[in-house]
């Protein structure tokens, strides 16, 4: 494999010295880019785009042609594993993902298979290989998966939810059944991420989008426990190179100390978590990623620059910070505002990395 020309992102995750704070952005390949919308139209549907390795590679690379990002992230969806389990994923315009066969009973849970990534999710693994080849060592490639708890919420609810009534009812009324399901998902997620690593992913991220919907004790038992299970099963060294791992629980700012003990190299922070306080609490243990409010990108480039400077100042001197949004970019964002953020991070972060 080609040696990395820019490994700043990897070194920051491992808390090694860097010249500046690296930046990438959740959903950096997506609807805010006109070139993405063109390929999406060509694909016919979002799912067709995800399952076509050539088109997934193209949209992964698109933001890197526009912006000076320090990492690429695989273009895919967090619900590929439940789809491979036979739940029948489909997307409804304006309503998001849905499943034809949601998981509601013990029989439903017991018949869930653990997908083989090289066969059942081959299109993702092929996309990773193709993206890695096309990057030619310019920047690292991030692989990812939804967390076991987050996947379970979609699988039981049958799609998105505001109250999470169905999945929480199963959790409270049939905790043993929920644990059986989450254990299968942890095994599936670990196998999936390991396949991405084998195919060329140089860092991996676990998206726990709905962990923040739980109480503290339920988060520890039903979300964090299985995130730790995934981490324990990951192969994190390839050809002598360490593969950094990132855990992101949206709404998880209350539990940073517990998350920092979970074995991941870095924690993603949402915008409601104060960067300075987060570093004081856990920064000696893990790197931190984040955490600009995505809505701040609607502001003028001048305001965006000031917001960037505030976050950089709050993290302070030294390595261990990867700049990012606190969640995904919104679909109607002006790409020029993204450029303002990226350029501001690179320009104003160097002062924090001088020996």
Active site residues: 27, 31, 40, 77, 154
Residue carrying structure tokens 């860092």? 203
Tokens of 150: 């987050």
Residue carrying structure tokens 């996309």? 127
145: which strand partners? Answer: 206
Q: Please state, as a whole number, how many other Cβ atoms lie within 10 Å of the Cβ of residue 242.
A: 14
Annotated binding site for substrate: 27-31, 77, 154, 209, 327
Longest dimension (CA), the chain: 60
289: which strand partners? Answer: 268, 322
Q: In what order do the strands lie in the sheet with 287-289?
A: 72-73, 141-146, 203-208, 245-249, 266-268, 287-289, 321-322
**Is the distance from CB of 203 to CB of 139 less than 8 angstroms?**
no
DSSP strands (E only) in the chain: 72-73, 89-92, 96-99, 141-146, 203-208, 237-238, 241-242, 245-249, 266-268, 287-289, 321-322
With vertex at residue 330, the alpha carbon angle to CA 276 and CA 207, rounded to the nearest 5 degrees, is 60
- Backbone region of residue 140 per phi and psi (left: phi > 0; alpha: psi in -120 to 50; beta: other values): beta
Query: Helices (H), strands (E): how many in the chain?
Result: 16, 11
């Amino acid at each position: 494999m080609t040696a990395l020309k820019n490994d700043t992102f990897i070194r920051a995750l491992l808390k090694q010295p860097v010249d500046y704070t690296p930046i990438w952005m959740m959903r950096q390949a997506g609807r805010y880019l006109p070139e993405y919308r063109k390929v999406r139209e060509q694909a016919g549907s979002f799912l067709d785009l995800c399952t076509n390795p050539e088109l997934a590679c193209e949209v992964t690379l698109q933001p890197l042609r526009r912006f000076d990002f320090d990492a690429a992230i695989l273009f895919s969806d967090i619900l590929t594993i439940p789809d491979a389990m036979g739940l029948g994923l489909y997307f409804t315009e304006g309503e998001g993902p849905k499943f034809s066969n949601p998981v509601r009973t013990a029989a439903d849970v017991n018949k869930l298979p653990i997908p083989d990534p090289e066969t059942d999710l081959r299109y993702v693994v092929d996309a990773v290989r193709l993206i890695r080849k096309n990057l030619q060592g310019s920047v690292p490639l991030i692989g990812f998966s939804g967390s076991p708890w987050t996947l379970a919420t979609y699988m039981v609810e049958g799609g998105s939810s505001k109250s999470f009534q169905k999945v929480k009812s199963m959790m409270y009324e049939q905790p043993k059944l929920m644990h059986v399901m989450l254990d299968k998902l942890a095994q599936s997620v670990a196998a999936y991420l390991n396949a991405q690593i084998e195919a060329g992913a140089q860092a991996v991220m676990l998206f726990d989008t709905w962990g923040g919907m739980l109480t503290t004790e339920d988060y520890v038992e039903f979300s964090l426990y299985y995130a730790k299970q995934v981490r324990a099963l990951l192969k994190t060294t390839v050809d002598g190179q360490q593969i950094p791992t990132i855990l992101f629980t949206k709404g998880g700012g209350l539990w940073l100390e517990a998350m920092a003990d979970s074995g991941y190299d870095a924690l993603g922070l949402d915008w409601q978590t104060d960067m300075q306080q987060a570093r004081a609490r856990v920064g000696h243990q893990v790197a931190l990623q984040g955490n600009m409010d995505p809505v701040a990108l609607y502001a003028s480039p001048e305001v965006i620059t000031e917001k960037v400077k505030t976050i950089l100042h709050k993290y302070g001197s030294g390595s261990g910070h990867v700049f990012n949004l606190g969640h995904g970019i919104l679909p109607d964002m002006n790409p020029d505002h993204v450029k303002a953020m990226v350029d501001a991070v690179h320009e104003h972060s160097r002062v924090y990395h001088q020996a």
